Structure 1
Amino acid sequence: MRKITISGFWLFLLLLSACNQRANTYFEKKLTYPNILTSDQKVKLAAYVVPTQQQYEWQQLELTAFIHFGINTFTGREWGDGSESPALFNPTDFDADQWVSSLQEAGFKMIILTAKHHDGFCLWPTRTTTHSVASSPWRNGQGDVVRAVKEACDRHEMKFGLYLSPWDRNAESYGNSPQYNALFVEQLTELLTNYGEVHEVWFDGANGEGPSGKVQEYDWTRFYHVIDSLQPNAVKAIMGDDVRWVGNENGLGRETEWSVTPLQPSISEATLIENKKLEISPTADDLGSRDLIERSQSIYWYPSEVDVSIRPGWFYHPEEDHQVKSLASLVDIYFQSVGMNSVLLLNIPPDTRGRLHEADVERLRQFGSYIEKTFDNEKLIDGDIPWRARSGASREYNVIPDQTINTVMLQEDIRKGQRVEKFIVEGFINNQWVQLTEGTTIGYKRLLRFGNASPSKLRVTINDTRDIGNIKKVGAYFAAALEADIKEDQLTDK
């Protein structure tokens, strides 16, 4: 399998060849179309855009955790204004190992820490400002939250990522674009140099006024270069070009979620113009349809990350201790994120002690147990056999005898692109095929729930695909009913 980057006349010849034969040529992360291609050729070539190795490994994580912790934890605010005294930051029982172990036991594979939020307070002893832990009473000014969390992640073999807010409401240079960009690059360099391997760098899109009353113009190209130079294996998220925001903070993915999309991160006038011309943004319902691809000049492998908090707020507030999301809500979010070709980034905010609150930890434990119990109990006998599926093709799978199911999983081998546009799943019940569910895109993983059924076989039909679909796995499971679930009649194959 070849992955290439090429341009000009030779690209045109290669594209034309790929459109007219079964090619093993793939286009990693980005493809720019020659103007001469037809609409059908453009759609077909979209099937050959694939993730980078970093993007593929990121997608496999499935469950990642956001940790919002900082000066806001001690002021009760969500967005600080930068005037807060560092003396307020003083966790009484800080325990990064408790964070990591609680999350790991629940199945999470990476932690992303808010090293600096919009208030500008830095959780590491930076040389760029006194607005940091070094000016706090915590550990007599000798503490370093970033280091403590990174070392805990290393001890537990958990991946580590960093959120660094470009918006800084404390920095005097904010609004003086060259001066502040230099400060931000210095902060980014400190974080990516002094703490070992970083797997994800998360840039928020919030951009307001600083102390000067001016809005900053960020040098995204320069920021990207720093990351690529210092942490080449890290993915750049949200305002980065490796991972995109799903478009809401409610834990909701799209029913049709394409990782191949014409959408670009809005980091320059050129990308803003192109996105506007196509009438797309991270919040749009349609990010990858045939119509969009036909009208686009370039397409990208740009997968979705779903961020949502386990509580109403992103930072800890004691009055929300009884408002932790229910298990049923978290399971719904899992199906609507991981189950819709996305990675879930669930926020769990530490409290003023510097610990995850007991209510959050208990809910995480319940969530991890539910997911493990559901998906470790495979009901299909032969769902792991790879399948190259043309449009209209069907394949039957044997269900373990006398098993009840209400959930199916389909996966494409996204290393060969995302291709399936529509599929149905049927069960053989009482000597006839009964439709159980249907869907559009699959991508890395698609999960669908339906009423309890006890079929002897499943049949999957790939109705439409942009080229031969590479089905990696089909699975069937029983997901136990939760309080918020609507009970449905059970179908039995007798």
Structure 2
Amino acid sequence: MNRYKNFSLIIVFAFLYFSCKNNEKKEAEVQNQSSILVKPSKKQIEFADWEVGAFFHFGLNVFTGQEHGDGKEPPSKFNPTALDAEQWVLTAKSMGAKYGCLTVRHEGGFCLWPSKTTDYTIANSPYKDGKGDIAKEFVDACRKHGLKVGFYHTSSHDTYEALSWYDGKIGWGPDRDSLVEIAFRDKKRKEKYQQVQLGQMRELLTNYGQIDFMWSDHWGAPGSEHIWNPMTDLVAELQPNMVFMGPETWVPGNESGLVVYPMWNAVNTVDGTKYTRPAPNSNDSSVENDYGLLENEVRTGHPLGKYWRVRECTTHWAFHRGGWFWHPEVTLPLPLSKHVDLYYRTVGLGANTIINLPPDHRGLVPDTIVVAAKRFGDEIKRRFSNPVAELKDIKKGNIVELSWGVPKEINTVVLMENIANGQRVAKYILEAFVDGIWQELKPINHFPIAKKPYNNNPGYETIGHKKIDRVIPVITSKIRFKCLKSVEGIAEIRKIQVFNFEPYDKLK
């Protein structure tokens, strides 16, 4: 009998052993499968979490009325009389911004720091008798008040350096492009231009400590590979922890605060390398040129794309009237309702948004913009600081529930995906437990200004970093998220929040 009992035990142990091995094999297979999803870097996740940034367009253009800069206006015109970088930063913080970005050198070529690469700088202006350094003032103010530091610089567009040989009027667009093409037929001029751009970037990324973000306008512009490719490598060498627009973030195809939806952060690129822009999918398109914009391709991304690029929305048309730079009697804020709508259609669709706060000829953000920025920040904080209920811990599973004690009316659900393991959710629904049964929460995410290819009524498809869903109100004490389609594996939900808000379209 003992012999048979021992034999039976051996059979049981063998069964358990091989069952465990099979389970381990299946888990390993799942892990290997999930590895096909590209994942954001730590700094890209942090950048997504910043959500809102402040853009400070300031420079010689403020004193000439230009937007792009023709490189012909003399530095002697640059003379702000009351510049206060701390006022800029405090305005940004009141808006809820986590980072600020200053145009230390815009397309015209005028440098807001005393660069040794060119004479077209603040050192040859009346500001502080030529001894000023606004880049430093900005960096110091950001660090003093806890704002992440960002610079704007565009290596492929420097009119002063590229076209200093040209004596005529230089406009924006095809005329300028053709003149630059002529200029760069001269090999020595082309090489000098490249060295100036690399030299400026080296100054910016070595003389001011850690820089957190760089808006590299027109990164990867076709025909400028000789500048952008070595520039991308130089940036990675000098500031590996900095988020660099181009290889690590990308624009949505407009400057009006619109995000394509559904939207994937993963992309494939034109040539399959990190040096080029996102490649189109079969249903992607280009839109009408928005304010001379060069990046007007609308890219939905690709769920199995090779590179992760956080979507970042430029939003000057959506926050105030006028151009990027301050213009007297033109730069006026839009109503609060438009600002809140901007937040819902950018951050609420998984993107980061950078809002323009242009300083005026004094060197101060105008009072009207200061007031509007604070009202916006206060309203977003008021809305999203006190959820009816909240799930804070990461939950893995295609069904995730959130419940609370007493039934309450709700009309907004915020979801965050755990993008550290990739963006997976391709279709989902939200349900509420009402009168003893689960019923679908009907989405009402309406954005009137969105025209094709932008979705003016997003439903339940991608989540990414964050999705804010407005729904038809219900009274309930329990909701659940159900993933209906995943790119790979089960869903991973980082956070669920439930709210009840009054409509924002009546805000003035």
The answer to whether TM tops 0.5 is yes
Residue 267 of structure 1 and its aligned partner are, at CA, apart by 9.0
On the 8 A contact 1:263/1:280 being kept in 2, the answer is no
Q: C-alpha deviations, 1:346-381, integer Å up to 9, x for none?
A: 111011111111111111111111111111111115
Q: C-alpha deviations, 1:283-316, integer Å up to 9, x for none?
A: 3353225xxx5xxxx6111120111112231100
Q: State the one-letter code of the partner of 1:154.
A: R
Structure-2 change in CA distance of 1:423 and 1:217 (3 Å) = closer
* 2:454 corresponding residue in structure 1: none
Distance 1:169 1:285 in 2: 29
Alignment map for 1:10-159 (pairs within 5 Å)? 21-23=29-31, 45-46=35-36, 48-159=37-148
* 1:456 corresponding residue in structure 2: 477
Distance 1:280 1:458 in 2: 35
On the 8 A contact 1:19/1:45 being kept in 2, the answer is no
Distance 2:94 2:213 in 1: 21
Q: CA RMSD in A?
A: 2.7
* 1:388 corresponding residue in structure 2: 396
Q: After superposing the two structures, state which structure 1 stretch, 420-429 or 155-164, moved more.
A: 420-429
Distance 2:276 2:26 in 1: 27
* 2:431 corresponding residue in structure 1: 426
Structure-2 change in CA distance of 1:245 and 1:277 (3 Å) = closer
Task: Give TM-score scaled by structure 1 length.
Answer: 0.80
Distance 1:64 1:233 in 2: 18
On the 8 A contact 1:81/1:170 being kept in 2, the answer is yes
Residue 261 of structure 1 and its aligned partner are, at CA, apart by 1.8
Please state whether the residue corresponding to 1:232 is helix, strand or coil. Answer: coil
Alignment map for 1:340-379 (pairs within 5 Å)? 340-379=349-388
Distance 1:265 1:67 in 2: 33
Please state whether the residue corresponding to 1:225 is helix, strand or coil. Answer: helix
Alignment map for 1:393-472 (pairs within 5 Å)? 394-399=399-404, 401-436=406-441, 437=443, 438-466=459-487, 467-472=489-494
Residue 423 of structure 1 and its aligned partner are, at CA, apart by 0.9
Q: C-alpha deviations, 1:381-428, integer Å up to 9, x for none?
A: 5x22432124xxx33321452533221111111111110011111223
Structure-2 change in CA distance of 1:18 and 1:142 (3 Å) = farther
Please state whether the residue corresponding to 1:84 is helix, strand or coil. Answer: coil
Structure-2 change in CA distance of 1:128 and 1:395 (3 Å) = closer
Distance 1:425 1:75 in 2: 53
On the 8 A contact 2:280/2:299 being kept in 1, the answer is no
Residue 442 of structure 1 and its aligned partner are, at CA, apart by 0.8
* 2:261 corresponding residue in structure 1: 255
Structure-2 change in CA distance of 1:366 and 1:277 (3 Å) = closer
Q: C-alpha deviations, 1:175-221, integer Å up to 9, x for none?
A: 3322111110111111111111101121111899xxxxxx8654222
Distance 2:235 2:219 in 1: 20
On the 8 A contact 1:380/1:400 being kept in 2, the answer is no
Distance 1:19 1:178 in 2: 54
Residue 172 of structure 1 and its aligned partner are, at CA, apart by 4.8
Unaligned 5+ segments in structure 1 are 1-16, 26-40, 209-214, 486-494
Give the paired residue count. 429
1:170 equivalent to 2:160? Answer: yes
Q: After superposing the two structures, state which structure 1 stretch, 394-403 or 222-231, moved more.
A: 394-403
Residue 275 of structure 1 and its aligned partner are, at CA, apart by 3.0
1:181 equivalent to 2:194? Answer: yes
> Taking every aligned residue pair, what percent have the same amino acid on both sides?
32
On the 8 A contact 1:420/1:440 being kept in 2, the answer is yes
Residue 157 of structure 1 and its aligned partner are, at CA, apart by 1.5
1:275 equivalent to 2:279? Answer: yes
Distance 2:358 2:138 in 1: 14
On the 8 A contact 1:405/1:452 being kept in 2, the answer is yes
Distance 1:271 1:97 in 2: 37
Q: State the one-letter code of the partner of 1:386.
A: I
On the 8 A contact 1:111/1:160 being kept in 2, the answer is yes
Residue 123 of structure 1 and its aligned partner are, at CA, apart by 0.5
1:307 equivalent to 2:314? Answer: yes
Distance 1:189 1:477 in 2: 47
Distance 2:392 2:270 in 1: 35
On the 8 A contact 2:220/2:276 being kept in 1, the answer is no
* 2:6 corresponding residue in structure 1: none
Task: Give TM-score scaled by structure 2 length.
Answer: 0.78
Q: State the one-letter code of the partner of 1:480.
A: E
On the 8 A contact 2:412/2:468 being kept in 1, the answer is yes
Distance 2:366 2:63 in 1: 15
Unaligned 5+ segments in structure 2 are 1-24, 164-182, 286-294, 444-458
Distance 1:89 1:133 in 2: 8
Q: Which of 232, 238, 246 is 1:224 aligned to?
A: 232
On the 8 A contact 2:149/2:212 being kept in 1, the answer is yes
Distance 1:339 1:163 in 2: 25
Distance 1:349 1:276 in 2: 33
1:318 equivalent to 2:340? Answer: no
1:203 equivalent to 2:216? Answer: yes
* 1:479 corresponding residue in structure 2: 501
Structure-2 change in CA distance of 1:459 and 1:275 (3 Å) = closer
Structure possessing the higher radius of gyration over alpha carbons: 2
Distance 2:368 2:235 in 1: 36
Structure-2 change in CA distance of 1:118 and 1:408 (3 Å) = same
